[in-house]
Amino acid sequence: MEYLKSIFVFNEKAPIIFTQLYFWGFFAIVLAIFSLLYKRITLRNAYLFFVSLFFYYKTSGIFVIILLFSTLSDFYIAKFIYQTSSLSRKKWLLSLSVFINLFVLFYFKYSYFVTDSINSLLGTNIAPHNYFAEFANFFGGNFNVDRILLPVGISFYTFQTISYSVDVFREKIKPVKSILDFGFYVSFFPQLVAGPIVRASEFIPQLYKDYKLSQYEFGLAIFWILKGLLKKMFISDYIAVNFIDRVFENPMAYTGFENLMALYGYSLQVYADFSGYTDIAIGVALLMGFYLPTNFNSPYKALDVSEFWKRWHISLSTWLKDYLYIPIGGNRKGSIFSYVMFSLIMFYVAFLFNHWLVIPIFLILLAFVIYIAKKFPRIRRAIDTNINLMLTMLLGGLWHGASWRFVIWGGLNGIGLVVYKYWKRISPFKNTNNWFIRIYAIFLTFNFISFTRIWFRADSLEQANNLMYKIGNDWTFSLIPAMLVAYKEIFSVILFGMIIHWLSDSFKQKYQDWFIHSSIYVKGAIAILVFFIIYQVRSADLQPFIYFQF
C-alpha cells in the first residue's frame, strides 16, 4: 500500500524530475500507451493533457489547481477576444487576461518581495497571508496560511498563456476549439516546469498534425536526451556539489583564486544545468512527435553582451522582446509605462542607499533628464530606447527571482547592453575577423557575464560582497599550484565542459550526425556508457534543476 502511495501521491520531499529513475519509468509507460493512441489526434491530445496534469501534480501537488485555473481563464478569454468585433472590447479582454495571469504570478512569487520593500520603505510590518491555503483548508486541507510557497514552473506557463491571448488578439492564431487541446499546450510535461517557453503560434499547429518519427528524428531525440543527462549530472551536479556550492556558502573561508574559479565554474554549472534540462525536454517531446524551440546556442561563444542574449535562454529573450520591449516602445519611442516603472525602480534603489541626500539628487537628475528629453527630440529618442532596454532587463531580472539581487543582475546586463550599443558605433574592431580580437572579445564577454552572476548566485548581498572582496584582495599566488593539484578533478571537468562548449559548430554537427546514423547497437552501447559515467559521479541526493525555482 505504501509503495502504491509513493507512486501516485505527491511527496514534497521527492518531486519528479528528469534525473530520477521514476521519471523514465513514467515516460516509458506514457510512451507505450501513446503508441496505441497516436493515430487518433483528439484522444492523443486529451491523453497527453491528463498525463501532464499527473506529472505536474507529482511535481507540485495541490498547485495543479493554479495550472487548471490559468488554463480555463485564458481559454475562455481568448475565445471571447476572437468572437467580439469591438476593438475596445478586445483590448479590455486582453487586459483582463494579462491582469489575471500577472496577479496570480505576483501573488505567489512576489508577495514577500513587495511586502518587504513596503515595510522597509514605510516602516510598516505587513505580513503576507496565504489565501490559497486558507481556501484549500476550507475543503479539508491542512496547509500553513502564514507561508506562501512558489508553484514550480509558474513563471513559464504564465508567459505561455499570456502569449496565447496576445497572439489571438493580434490575429496570429485562431483560438483552439477544445479545452483539452489548450490544456495540453499549456501543460505539456517535458517543458512545463522549466521551459523552454513555447509560443502558441509555434506549438498549437502541431496539435493537429499526424504523428511521425523518422529514423533521423529518433536518433536526434536520443542524442538530445543523452547530451542533456551528461550536462546535468556529469558536469553541473558534480562541480556544484564538490566545489561551487561549498565556496558560495562561505566565500570568506576560501582564497580569491578559489572564489574566482567557483564563479567561472558557476557560469558553466548554470548553463549545463538549464540547457541540460531543455535538451532532455526537446528530446522527450521529439519522441512523441512534437518540436520544442532551441533555447541555447553556445552562449559563451558570444563576442558581445548583445549576442550573448541572442544565444542564452532564447525563448525568454525573444518573449521579452516581442511582448514587453516592443509594446512599450522598443527603439522607436517611450511610453508612460516605461517612464513610470523605471522611475519607481530607480527611486527605490536610491532609497536603499539610506542617506537623506540621495533622494533629492535622484529627483534633480530625473527632472534634468525630462527637461533634456523635451528640449532635444533626437536625444529623447536615445533616452526612450535606453529606458525601454533597461526596464526590459530589470523586469527580466525580476522574472528570475523575487529579490533585489536579481534586479541588480538584470540592471548590470542592461548597462552592458547600453554601453555596447554605443561602443559598437566607434569600435575599430567591429568588422574584423582577426582571431586574437575575437578570442579577446569572447573572453571579455564571458568575464562580464560571469561577474554579473555574483548577484544571480549569491544568497544575499552580504555574500555577494564577500565574494567580490575575496576575488579582489585575497591572492597568494604561491598557493595556486597546490590548489590546482587539490582540485584537479573539479577543474578537469570544468575545463572539459568549456572545451566541448567552444568546439566549432561544424565539428559538433559531425559527431551528432555520426551518432544519429549509427546502428541501434552503437546507440545502445553509448547510452550504457553515459549511464555508467553518470553512476560514477552522481551525488547521494539528486540535485534539482536550478530553474525550478523560477
Phi, psi of 328 (to 5 degrees): -85, 5
DSSP percent split of the chain into helix, strand, coil, nearest 5: 75, 0, 25
Q: Cβ distance 197 to 396 under 8 Å?
A: no
3-state secondary structure of 403: coil
pLDDT value, residue 495: 94
pLDDT value, residue 74: 93
Nearest to 485 by CA among 231, 245, 237, 257: 257
pLDDT value, residue 73: 93
Does the CA dihedral 521-527-532-533 come out positive or negative?
positive
Residue 86, phi-psi category: left (phi > 0), alpha (psi -120 to 50), beta (remainder)? beta
pLDDT value, residue 1: 59
pLDDT value, residue 550: 58
Please work out, in degrees rounded to the nearest 5, the angle formed at the alpha carbon of residue 394 by the alpha carbons of 388 and 398.
Answer: 140
Distance CA 323, CA 314 (A): 14
Q: Cβ distance 403 to 112 under 8 Å?
A: no
Q: What is the pLDDT along the chain (550 residues), one digit of tens a residue?
A: 565 666 767 666 667 778 788 888 889 999 999 989 988 999 999 999 999 999 998 888 888 888 999 999 999 999 999 999 888 899 999 999 999 998 888 888 888 877 877 777 777 887 777 777 677 666 555 666 667 777 888 888 898 999 999 999 988 888 998 999 999 999 999 888 777 888 888 888 898 888 888 999 999 999 999 999 999 888 998 999 889 999 999 999 899 999 999 999 999 999 998 999 899 999 999 999 999 988 999 999 999 999 999 999 999 898 888 888 888 777 777 677 777 777 777 776 666 666 556 667 777 777 777 777 777 777 777 777 888 888 888 888 888 887 888 888 998 999 999 889 888 888 777 777 888 888 999 999 999 999 999 999 888 888 988 999 999 888 888 888 999 999 999 999 999 999 999 999 999 999 999 999 999 999 999 999 988 888 877 765 566 666 666 5
Q: What is the largest CA-CA distance in the chain?
A: 76
pTM: 0.89
pLDDT value, residue 155: 86
Other C-beta atoms within 10 Å of 235: how many?
25
The gap from C-alpha 270 to its chain's centroid, in whole angstroms, comes to 10
Burial annotation 436-450 (CB, 10 A radius, 16+ → b, else e): eeeeebbeebbebbb
pLDDT value, residue 548: 60
